[in-house]
Amino acid sequence: MRTKLIAGNWKMNLSKAESVTLASEVLHKVPKSAKAQVLLIPAFIHIDAVAQVISKSQLLLGAQDVYFEKSGAFTGEVSTEMLLELGVSHVLVGHSERRHVIHETDAVLNRKLIAATSEKLVGIYCVGETLQERNSGKAAEVILHQLKTGLANLSHDVIAMGHLVIAYEPVWAIGTGQTATPDHAQETHAFIRARLAELLSPELADRIRIQYGGSVKKANAAELLAKPDIDGLLVGGASLIVDEFVGIIQAAEKS
Ligand code: 13P
């Protein structure tokens, strides 16, 4: 059984006060007995404030990025150790906005994923094709390339410890209101799991959670989560609205 992971990626949104308010509202509305894991991913600068609100609760804290070096002259970057000190347990690596807006390379993402997972963080490695890649029939090829390059030289031991989550986020579905259909998402998740079995092992592939992301809202969460290979959701816009995000968590509780 793979525990469902519902994550709210707040991206570059919310003030400090708004982040604290949203975290405390989610905290008060999510039952302590929830079986799904709930992860909040604020902007770096608000992580500490959110940590104060959700410490000693069942809510988990994530970061949107991390640098691969331990310390030193890397202006503007944040290390795994700094995140761990604040109580961060999960970190996104290779989000499509970092690939396509910030232009992070496969090699950089691989180093980040290795650094994060080997330093006791859970790395949520994001993959997904653009609309152009999809329309030209290249989605499978692109996703396979992202998996191969991202997971290269990753320790099987840390994966076996649960330190790797994959998030399938088709770029054409992010922030567009155009969600992948549950069938399409399931088909791609099954494809990803089959490739993980080849690249790693069938046992590891069976244990790795694969989240779906891209215009998830409370209205479509249940049907996505009903699919056998969808092990959670990575939510952007709807995670900024308490009622939407809590509705998504409730859908996970019922799934
Ligand atoms: P939206 O839910 O706003 O489409 O964003 C998805 C996403 O990028 C989460 O990481």
Q: What is the pLDDT of residues 28-70, one digit of tens each?
A: 999 888 899 999 999 999 999 999 999 999 999 999 999 999 9
pLDDT tens figures, 191-241 = 999 999 999 999 999 999 999 999 999 999 999 999 999 999 999 999 999
pLDDT digits (tens, 9 = 90+) for 106-162: 999 999 999 999 988 999 999 999 999 999 999 999 999 999 999 999 999 999 999
pLDDT at 15: 98
Identify the pLDDT of residue 50. 98
Whole-angstrom Cα distance, residue 172 to residue 134?
Answer: 9
Which residue among 174, 179, 241 has the greatest number of ligand 1 atoms within 8 angstroms of its CB, and so is best to mutate?
174
pTM for this predicted structure: 0.97
Answer whether residue 174 shows pLDDT above 90: no
E-assigned strand segments in the chain: 5-9, 37-41, 60-63, 90-93, 122-127, 164-168, 209-213, 232-235
> In this model, does residue 249 exceed pLDDT 90?
yes
pLDDT at 101 over 90: yes
Provide the annotated active-site residues. 95, 169
The pLDDT assigned to 33 comes to: 81
Ligand 1 pocket, residue 9 CB under 6 Å: yes
Q: How far is the CA of 174 from the centre of ligand 1 (A)?
A: 5
In angstroms, the CA 151 to CA 6 distance is: 22
Q: Into which CATH architecture does domain 5-254 fall?
A: Alpha-Beta Barrel (3.20)
Residue nearest to atom 5 of ligand 1 (CA): 236
Cβ of 215 below 6 Å from ligand 1: yes
Which residue among 11, 92, 131 is best mutated to probe the pocket of ligand 1, counting the most ligand atoms within 8 A of its Cβ? 11
Mean pLDDT value across residues 12-31: 97
Confidence of residue 1 (pLDDT cuts 50, 70, 90): confident
Residue to substitute in 215, 217, 224 for testing ligand 1 pocket (most ligand atoms within 8 angstroms of CB): 215
pLDDT band of residue 179 (cuts 50, 70, 90) is confident
How far does residue 129's CA lie from ligand 1's centre (Å)? Answer: 14
Looking at residue 34, its pLDDT comes to 84
Q: Is 174 in the pocket of ligand 1 (CB under 6 A)?
A: yes
Any idea what DSSP says for residue 180?
P
Q: State how far the alpha carbon of 135 is from the alpha carbons of 68, 129, 140, 158, in Å.
A: 34, 10, 12, 36
Closest-CA residue, ligand 1 atom 9, reads: 236
Q: Which atom of ligand 1 is nearest to the CA of 215?
A: 4
3-state secondary structure of 2: coil
